[in-house]
């Protein structure tokens, strides 16, 4: 089975969590896209839900499927967010932001009573950090912020290169919020909580891709079937 088919399986299992009347957060990325697609089919059959998107891309997909959409200003408390992840550890700590949507994803997840992660089981790792950690920063003072980020990373006991994420044409990638992304190639993040705290203290850092204490459960699809972590129902 292809990785894409596994992602769709995980998304289909997450759809079973959706009940009529729920307020849902819709994640971003290739896995979340399957969930939105399957949700759109249920909505077309009459399912009543109200959703908030974590990116302009997801918003556009949901609108194209006639999924009723809201904002966190109108609907500040959500029942469930379903989103993908770049890495998941056994304690349900995540790295997110490979698709540059981490800021809105974290705000939406924090506004949700539950966040369930959907992924293929290749995303499950014993230690976070093989995937470069995305760090969203304001464009002003970029080099000073990059140095401060390097200091914060070193203070947490990690180390590695920090690169500005670029578009295919070479220009800096700009997020939905108008910010840049620094990708920190750390290899292993032994103390994610410490690193998260250190990054939170850096002026110019808007948000980082360490999601700690946000996911309540994960649905991981693999060749041997579905594996559930944490609380799903
Ligand atoms: O910014 C993007 C998000 O955090 C995605 O949820 C994450 O990158 C996983 O994406 P995918 O499902 O495409 O692997």
Write out the catalytic residue numbers.
105
Note the pLDDT tens digit of each residue in 97-113.
999 999 999 999 999 99
Pick the atom of ligand 1 nearest to 100's CA: 1
State pTM to two decimals: 0.97
Cα 139 to ligand 1 centroid, rounded to whole Å: 23
Residue 45: pLDDT band with limits 50, 70, 90: very high
Give the distance (Å) from ligand 1 centre to CA of residue 5.
16
Residue % of the chain over a pLDDT of 70: 100
| ipTM of the modeled complex | 0.98
* Ligand 1 atom nearest to CA at 209: 4
SS3 labels along the chain = CCHHHHHHHHHHHHHCCCCCCCEEEECCCHHHHHHHHHHHHHHHCCCCCEEEECCHHHHHHHHHCCCCECCCCCCCCEEEEEECCCEECCCCCEECCCCCCHHHHHHHHHCEEEEEEEEEHHHECCCCCCCCEEEEECCCCHHHHHHHHHHHHHHCCCCCEEEECECCCCCECCCCCCCEEEEEECCCCCCHHHHHHHHHCCCCEEEECEECCCCCEEEEEECCEEEEEECCC
pLDDT in tens, 171-208: 999 999 999 999 999 999 999 999 999 999 999 999 99
Domains of the chain from N-terminus onward: 3-125+212-223 (3.40.50.1360), 133-208 (3.30.70.260)
Give residue 30 CA to ligand 1 midpoint distance, Å.
7
Has 7 been labeled as part of a binding site?
A: no
């Amino acid at each position: 089975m292809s990785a894409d088919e596994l992602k769709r399986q995980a998304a289909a299992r997450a759809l079973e969590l959706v009940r009529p009347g729920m307020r849902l957060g819709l994640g971003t990325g290739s896995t979340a896209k399957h969930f939105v697609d399957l949700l759109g089919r249920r909505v077309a059959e009459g399912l009543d839900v109200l959703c908030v998107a974590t990116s302009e891309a997801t918003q556009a997909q949901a609108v194209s499927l006639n999924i009723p959409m809201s904002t966190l200003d109108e609907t500040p408390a959500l029942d469930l967010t379903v989103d993908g992840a770049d890495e998941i550890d056994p304690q349900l700590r995540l790295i997110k932001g490979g698709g540059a949507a981490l800021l809105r994803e974290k705000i939406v997840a924090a506004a949700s009573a539950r966040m369930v992660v959907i992924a293929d089981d290749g995303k499950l790792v014993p230690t976070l950090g093989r995937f470069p950690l995305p760090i969203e920063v304001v464009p002003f003072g970029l080099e000073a912020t990059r140095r401060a980020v390097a200091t914060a990373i070193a203070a947490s006991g990690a180390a590695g290169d920090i690169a500005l994420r670029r578009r295919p044409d070479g220009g800096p990638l700009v997020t939905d919020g108008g910010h840049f992304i620094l990708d920190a190639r750390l290899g292993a993040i032994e103390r994610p909580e410490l690193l998260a705290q250190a990054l939170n203290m850096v002026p110019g850092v808007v948000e980082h891709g360490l999601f700690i204490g946000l996911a309540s459960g994960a649905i991981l699809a693999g060749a041997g079937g579905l594996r559930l972590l944490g609380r799903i129902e």
